[in-house]
Amino acid sequence: MTPSIKPSPEQNAKTSLATFLKPAIGLLAKAVAFIVSHLPRSIQMAMGSLIGFLWFDVLRIRRKVAIDNVGIAYPEKSAQERTSIARASLASMGRTLIEYFTFPFLTRDRINEIFELVGEENLQAALKEGKGVIMMTLHLGNGDLAVAGLSRLGYKMHLISKEFKARWLNDLWFGMRQRHGTRFIAPEKSSFDILRALKKNEIVVFVLDQFMGPPIGVRTKFFGRETGTAMGCALMADRTHAPVVPSYTYRKSDGRHVMVFERAIPWIPEGLDHGPRDQNIAAMTQIYTDKIEAIVRKHPGQWMWIHRRWKEFRD
């Protein structure tokens, strides 16, 4: 019989500390969330802007990456204009961070106070087809809050998202959104779960503005520069013929959010040659990428420019 190994006093102390800290951190987070969520929207916006200022102008974390990326997209703009867009982007991200504290207190009654929905008839028309909806979106404004809001409005939402290595962070990050009804799909098992959700005529959210290399990504051009984009959205559209609805959220000057739903993009639009499946997938991924670019151009100061979008695509 293998003798049992008793934990050392140090191990017992660490376990006891972890047991105490987890609920303590949870209570502290709830207290901070309650206070922040009940502040006037103008103060929340100011707090977010302060975070953006500290991030961009004091700590200068990825400042150069953001400015350089704006320069890739807008080579015609001056250095001052590029810096202004990058600074606005970090301020927007700071406001998004503050708004995460409002998640626990997001009720259906507050949806009309926080959101304005534009083109919701396009989303409802897509759902009426009965094939589910592929919602194509990007890191602009506060998309996470928008997904939570749609869940609160009764839409069956599934978001493809990687998990964190730290279990406590997963519980916090995903748990507060799952309580609103949002379900999450891990990328490593996404195909089966996506197909199941679409078959039930529910909505699957694809975030399509990140760099993705092979074998998951295909070559695309974004703002005229070669990069790689995930082809999962096109693969699922080809396989299911579920309508692809471009959607995005932007923040108004008063802090309220506008959720926009555009008309669904048809599979193989008129004028595009029907070729081999892999060529169709690549062609449609480029069409989706062009749509993402058009959305960014509408609100460049609210897109996440700190991401290294234009990495080299290597086959």
Domain boundaries, the chain: 111-302
User: What's the pLDDT at 33?
Assistant: 80
CA-wise closest residue to 300 among 262, 257, 259, 250: 250
What are the CA-CA distances from residue 51 to residues 47, 86, 147, 276 (Å)?
A: 6, 14, 23, 49
What are the CA-CA distances from residue 105 to residues 61, 152, 249, 268 (Å)?
A: 31, 11, 20, 42
User: What's the pLDDT at 302?
Assistant: 98
User: What's the pLDDT at 166?
Assistant: 64
DSSP secondary structure, 38-104, as one string? TS-HHHHHHHHHHHHHIIIIII-TTHHHHHHHHHHH-TTS-HHHHHHHHHHHHHHHHHHHHHGGGGG
User: What's the pLDDT at 202?
Assistant: 98
Amino acid at 115: F
* 238, 277 contact by CB (below 8 A): yes
User: What's the pLDDT at 131?
Assistant: 97
User: What's the pLDDT at 173?
Assistant: 63
Place domain 111-302 in its CATH homologous superfamily: Glycerol-3-phosphate (1)-acyltransferase (3.40.1130.10)
User: What's the pLDDT at 36?
Assistant: 87
User: What's the pLDDT at 27?
Assistant: 75
In sequence order, what E strands does the chain have?
A: 115-118, 133-137, 157-160, 183-185, 203-207, 217-222, 225-230, 244-251, 257-261
User: What's the pLDDT at 176?
Assistant: 67
List per-residue pLDDT tens for the chain, 315 residues long: 555 556 665 655 555 545 655 667 667 777 888 888 889 999 999 999 999 999 999 999 999 999 999 999 999 999 999 999 999 999 999 999 999 888 888 888 888 899 999 999 999 999 999 999 999 999 999 999 999 999 999 999 999 887 766 665 666 666 666 678 899 888 766 799 999 999 999 999 999 999 999 999 999 999 999 999 999 999 999 999 999 999 999 999 999 999 999 999 988 876 666 678 899 999 999 999 999 999 999 999 999 999 999 999 998
